[in-house]
Structures are given as structure tokens and as C-alpha cells.
């Protein structure tokens, strides 16, 4: 019988109400390796109650002590990195080296959270009026929640809960039910690091758990990363219930390749950006816009040659470039988009649909696919495929390429490959996208900046992690204080107060 992954509530593993479970697969073999309990409303409410009970004491814990827990957690994660990455690969499928890169980014966010005393400093103004001082401070919200996707099971939760708890909040995390083991293990490490019971609670579940978090008035804020339709639902439902919400949605990131680009470097970069992690990244590059026919011809030829030697296999073998897709339904969905692209009239230069990995015939492996002659009216151009499918669109000018990008509903990330500083500067100044790279295909901000897109890639005003994350998980309070001199009595003042 498969092991059942439970919930972490108030410092203890809890099975919750008996009932629904979901299978957890090894995507390299197609085998069910575990099952995960799907929390009913009552179990989620138990987690909310635990977080609410833990909040007063945690809020009043000095930021330095909260930061010390993060320092210890950082060390424990570094010591247990191989185990965490193995859990990621076993359930997600990404190559171990890629999992290690993900974990490194997760640890960077915890590193940033260690600076809580500096991040939470307020502002002070003395004598704003006669014997009157004024200052602002940043106070926690209370119980907050995070809902995270399957593609980065360790990193995306680390965008949320470490920063939230060092700001003094208590947290309920609802990770993806497809690959929950790594985040459960990291939560256990947090307890070993000294995080008090109830400060971080993890509930596994599906829409019932999500809706409970969105509708319960005790939850003050919700962070989300996932597809745009769900992000829009999370945002509209949460805000309608008076919650603060940041909901990061989908993407269709374009790379522009200019005629003067170093094509060999560009192709190497694009291979990793398009096919790394089997294309299951919101910052992946699924569209390349080639400026000029000669650029397009050379680009397709070089990409085709690279795809012919792309090594696909189980993520446990670090010599592989790409592992499997997460599960069979997603495999069928991505394969269906390749079929659709052919029907729509795009030129399928490299077809990965017939790939078979010896010894892993039941795994969810799809070879790298490359389309040329793609046009903006095609669904393979418009939709987020989230798989190893790269489309080439050809245009005549940089402005035409930028107009294409600006017209798309998503505005998460983009990049340009060029040697021309003027072209790059014009691109970065004017493109309507939230994260921009110049000769950098995956312009993911470092932990002490902030991550987020524009247009329908982000619902809410604040980006994830970094300075915006601190502002999201805190409220500004401004205090104005006066201590009159002894014996001084003043009459009533009926005009609006000023410093004159």
C-alpha cells in the first residue's frame, strides 16, 4: 500500500478527516509511489485555528529571534540538499542538477528573510509640530496563506512563507498535490530550526482547501502562483472577501533574436530556456521572434542541430538535459498542442512525439519539439503550452517584434539577443513586460529584488518576494505622538491641525 502524505498542523502530522486521496506519481516510470490526503474544509479550518492561536506570541517575538530561526533553517536545508532534490526529482521529474538550482533559489529567499530586522525598520520624524513626533512602522497582517504550483515545489513556497513569518505573520501553505513531499520535508526542517508550532501549517488538498482559505475571514491575505484562469479566480474571490491578494498567473515569454546577435550563444541560451525542466517554467521561452528571414533560417538550422543531440531521460541521471512531464494528463495536453500546431499549418521541424526512453516506456517523456512559420493567429502561439515546444515567428523589424509581444495577453518575461546597445536600451525602456533580459533568456530577479509580470500575468499590485514581499505581508501604521509640558493647558482648537 502506498504511503499517504498527511498535513502538518500545529506542529504535528495530522491525517485529517478520512476520505479523499490523490495519487502521486514518479513521472519517469508512470508508477504511483505515494498518495496524498486531500484536506476537507474541517481540516483546513483546524489549520487556520492553529495559525490564529499561534499569532499573538509570534507577532510579539522580536524580529532578531524570528531571523535566527531562518538562519538555522538555511543551514539545515544546505545540509539536506541532496535529499530535498531527490524528493523533487522523484515526484516532479526534473533533472537533479535542475532541482539543485531550484533549491539554491529557495535558499536565497530564506537568506533574504534572515534580514528581517533591517527589512522591518520604520521611519521616524522628530518635531513635526511643537513637541510632536511622528513615525511609521510595519506591522504583520495576522494569518496569511499561500497556494503554490507543481513546477517549483521547493522554490515557490520559499517565495512566500519564510518572508511572511519573519514579518510576524502565521502561515498556511497549500502546496501542489502533485509533488508535495519536498515541501513537507522542508516544513519539518523549519520545526527543527525552532519555528514554533502553529506558525507554519501545511495542508494538502485541492479546490475545497483553496476555497476554504479564500472564504474564511480569519485569513487576511493570500499569495498564489499558477495558471491565469486560476489566478484570476483566486484574486476575484479573495478580494471580494476583503483579503489582500497577489496572484501570479501564466506566461508566453518571447525572445527576440536580432540580425546582429551572437547566434551560437543565443541558441545555447534558448535551448536551456525552452527545454530546461521540460518547458514547465513560467519563465520558459516558448516563442522566438526572428528579425529577418536570414536570421530565422540560421536560427532554425542551429536549433534543429542542437535538438538532435538533446538527451532526454529520467531526472536521476544528471547527464540528461531534460526529464519527463509531470503526469499523463499534462503529457497528453502538451502532445495535443503539437498535433494542433500541425493542423494549424505550422512547420514541425523537429517532432518529439514518438520519443521512447528505454527502460522507462511508461514514463511521461516527450522529446523537444520545434515549430517554424508560426503566426499569431495560431493557438500554439496564443496559449501557454507549458511543455518542451518552441515556436519560431518571423518578422522584418525590431518594432514589429515588440508590437507582437505587447499585443499578447501575457506580460511575464521577455528577452532580446543583440550586440546593439541602442536596440537593447530601446527594448528595455519600451517593452510592456514585467521582467526583461538582454542576452539573458531567463531574467528571474534575485531574492533581494521582486518577481512579477504585467498584464494578465499578475493580479494585484505587488510582486512576489523581495521588497514587494515585505510590503505585501505587512501594514504600515503611522503614529503621531505629543507629550505636553507639565502644567501647560491649551484651549480647544477647531481648525484642522497643521504645523504652522
Catalytic residues: 282
Number of H helices, E strands in the chain: 16, 23
Classify residue 481 by burial, with Cβ atoms within 10 Å: 0-12, 13-18, 19+. Answer: exposed
Which runs of consecutive H residues, i.e. helices, occur in 4-95?
41-59, 63-79, 81-92
Which three cell numbers, joined as nine digits, stand for 267? 541558441
With b meaning 16 or more CB within 10 Å and e meaning fewer, what string describes 217-227?
A: eebbbbbbbbb
Q: Residue 279 has what DSSP assignment? A: G
Dist. CA 481–CA 497, nearest whole Å: 13
Q: How many residues does the chain have?
A: 500
Task: Decide: helix, strand or coil at residue 310.
Answer: coil
- Angle between helix 96-113 and helix 63-79 axes, rounded to 10 deg: 160
> Are 283 and 249 a contacting pair, CB within 8 Å?
no
Which three cell numbers, joined as nine digits, stand for 485? 509640558
DSSP readout, 179-243?
S-HHHHHHHHHHHHTTPPTTTEEE---SHHHHHHHHH-TTEEEEEEES-HHHHHHHHHHHHHTT-
Amino acid at each position: 500500500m502506498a504511503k499517504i502524505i498527511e498535513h502538518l498542523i500545529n506542529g504535528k502530522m495530522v491525517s485529517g478527516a478520512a476520505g479523499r486521496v490523490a495519487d502521486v506519481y514518479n513521472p519517469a516510470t508512470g508508477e504511483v509511489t505515494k498518495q496524498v490526503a486531500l484536506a476537507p474544509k474541517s481540516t483546513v479550518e483546524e489549520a487556520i485555528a492553529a495559525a490564529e492561536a499561534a499569532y499573538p506570541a509570534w507577532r510579539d517575538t522580536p524580529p532578531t529571534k524570528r531571523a535566527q530561526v531562518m538562519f538555522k533553517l538555511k543551514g539545515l536545508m544546505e545540509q539536506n540538499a541532496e535529499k530535498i532534490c531527490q524528493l523533487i526529482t522523484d515526484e516532479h521529474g526534473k533533472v537533479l542538477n535542475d532541482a539543485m538550482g531550484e533549491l539554491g533559489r529557495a535558499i536565497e529567499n530564506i537568506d533574504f528573510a534572515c534580514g528581517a530586522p533591517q527589512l522591518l525598520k520604520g521611519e521616524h520624524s522628530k518635531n513635526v509640530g511643537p513637541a510632536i513626533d511622528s513615525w511609521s512602522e510595519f506591522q504583520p497582517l495576522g494569518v496569511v496563506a499561500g497556494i503554490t504550483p507543481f513546477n517549483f515545489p521547493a522554490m515557490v513556497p520559499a517565495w512566500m512563507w519564510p518572508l511572511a513569518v519573519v514579518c510576524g505573520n502565521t502561515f498556511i501553505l497549500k502546496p501542489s498535490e502533485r509533488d508535495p513531499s519536498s515541501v513537507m520535508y522542508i516544513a519539518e526542517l523549519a520545526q527543527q530550526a525552532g519555528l514554533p508550532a502553529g506558525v507554519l501549517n501545511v495542508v494538502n488538498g485541492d479546490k475545497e482547501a483553496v476555497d476554504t482559505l479564500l472564504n474564511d475571514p480569519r485569513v487576511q491575505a493570500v499569495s498564489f502562483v499558477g495558471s491565469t484562469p486560476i489566478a484570476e479566480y483566486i484574486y476575484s474571490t479573495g478580494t471580494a472577501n476583503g483579503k489582500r491578494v497577489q496572484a501570479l498567473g501564466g506566461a508566453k515569454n518571447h525572445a527576440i533574436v536580432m540580425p546582429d546577435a551572437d547566434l551560437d550563444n543565443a541558441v545555447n541560451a534558448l535551448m536551456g530556456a525552452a527545454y530546461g525542466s521540460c518547458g514547465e517554467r513560467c519563465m520558459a521561452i516558448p516563442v522566438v521572434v526572428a528579425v529577418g528571414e536570414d536570421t530565422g533560417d540560421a536560427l532554425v538550422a542551429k536549433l534543429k542541430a542542437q535538438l538532435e543531440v538533446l538527451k532526454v531521460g529520467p531526472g536521476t541521471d544528471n547527464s540528461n538535459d531534460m526529464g519527463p512531464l509531470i503526469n499523463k494528463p499534462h503529457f497528453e495536453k502538451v502532445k495535443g498542442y503539437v498535433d494542433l500546431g500541425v493542423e494549424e499549418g505550422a512547420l514541425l521541424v523537429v517532432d518529439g512525439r514518438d520519443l521512447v526512453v528505454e527502460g522507462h516506456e511508461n514514463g511521461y517523456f516527450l522529446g523537444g519539439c520545434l515549430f517554424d512559420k508560426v503566426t499569431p493567429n495560431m493557438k500554439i502561439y496564443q496559449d501557454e503550452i507549458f511543455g518542451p515546444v518552441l515556436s519560431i515567428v518571423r518578422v522584418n523589424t525590431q518594432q514589429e517584434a515588440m508590437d507582437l509581444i505587447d499585443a499578447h495577453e501575457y506580460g511575464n518575461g521577455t528577452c532580446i539577443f543583440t550586440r546593439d546597445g541602442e536596440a537593447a536600451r530601446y527594448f528595455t525602456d519600451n517593452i510592456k513586460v514585467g521582467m526583461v533580459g538582454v542576452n539573458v533568456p531567463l531574467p528571474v530577479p534575485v531574492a533581494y529584488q521582486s518577481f512579477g509580470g504585467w498584464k494578465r500575468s499578475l493580479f494585484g499590485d505587488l510582486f512576489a518576494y523581495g521588497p514587494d514581499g515585505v510590503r505585501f505581508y505587512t501594514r504600515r501604521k503611522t503614529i503621531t505622538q505629543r507629550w505636553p509640558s507639565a502644567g501647560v493647558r491649551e484651549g480647544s482648537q477647531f481648525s484642522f491641525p497643521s504645523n504652522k
